[in-house]
Structure 1
């Protein structure tokens, strides 16, 4: 499914949360699709099941997945409202970072170039703007 960087300073469960969110947002994992069980994913990634459980709990808290007792975890199809809230939060955080970058002397053109490069590497957005 994906790989985790065991040498990273970022905790494994956070890496797992980020990877799962990316798969959900890019619709690699579809709404209402069942996620691998904690045990299965722990075996596949050779990490502690408690780490998987912690990541799933975090994803559920953030509204990306929901759980059904005895059945497992599934991708939450009701992300539109939460997505709008998340977009606003990200915009505010991005605004703070851009202001800080400009204050530190990074030219706006360099920031724009960085965003365009990131957009191209992630395959995001429409190219006919």
Structure 2
């Protein structure tokens, strides 16, 4: 597992860890049942406090991304395809909301934003 911690980020380290593991699940880089490194091992690899990695794992468990088994460790929780899709849709909605808000700040109309989205869609189709 490749987690990169940024000291320049405004997000706390535990959030950076949590979000990167979460994205790996949503991108299907990490699969249900796959073991995560122990809290101590991850803390040592990232050179952060055990408390920091413990908090990240606890939050992931609370959000349903990780299951912990006493004496065995932490594992990626099984996710239904519908749930994964819902999480991906939420992520897209958040990004689009941010784009709409940013557009409004600089005076873009909805039609201009739609046109930009269509141009980006056309460009990505041509590249892919």
Same fold (TM over 0.5): yes
Deviation of the 1:79 alpha carbon = 3.8
Matched residue pairs, number? 120
Aligned equivalents of 1:58, 1:116: Cα separation in 2: 38
Q: Which residue is equivalent to 1:123?
A: none
Provide Cα deviations, 1:51-95, integer angstroms capped at 9, x if missing partner. Answer: 001111111111111111111110011243432443454465456
CA-atom RMSD, angstroms?
Answer: 2.8
Aligned equivalents of 2:15, 2:53: Cα separation in 1: 10
C-alpha spacing 1:102/1:112, structure 2 compared with 1 (3 Å): farther
Provide Cα deviations, 1:21-50, integer angstroms capped at 9, x if missing partner. Answer: 122222222210110000000000000011
Describe the SS at the equivalent of 2:43. helix
C-alpha spacing 1:3/1:89, structure 2 compared with 1 (3 Å): closer
Is contact 2:26–2:84 with CA below 8 Å preserved after alignment? Answer: no
Aligned equivalents of 1:38, 1:62: Cα separation in 2: 18
Structure showing greater radius of gyration is 2
Describe the SS at the equivalent of 1:63. coil
Task: Determine whether 1:66 maps to 2:67.
Answer: yes
Describe the SS at the equivalent of 1:27. coil
Runs of 5+ in structure 2 lacking a partner?
Answer: none
Q: Which residue is equivalent to 2:48?
A: 47
Is contact 2:67–2:75 with CA below 8 Å preserved after alignment? Answer: yes
Q: Which residue is equivalent to 1:26?
A: 27
Runs of 5+ in structure 1 lacking a partner?
Answer: 121-126
Q: Which residue is equivalent to 1:78?
A: 79
Is contact 1:64–1:79 with CA below 8 Å preserved after alignment? Answer: no
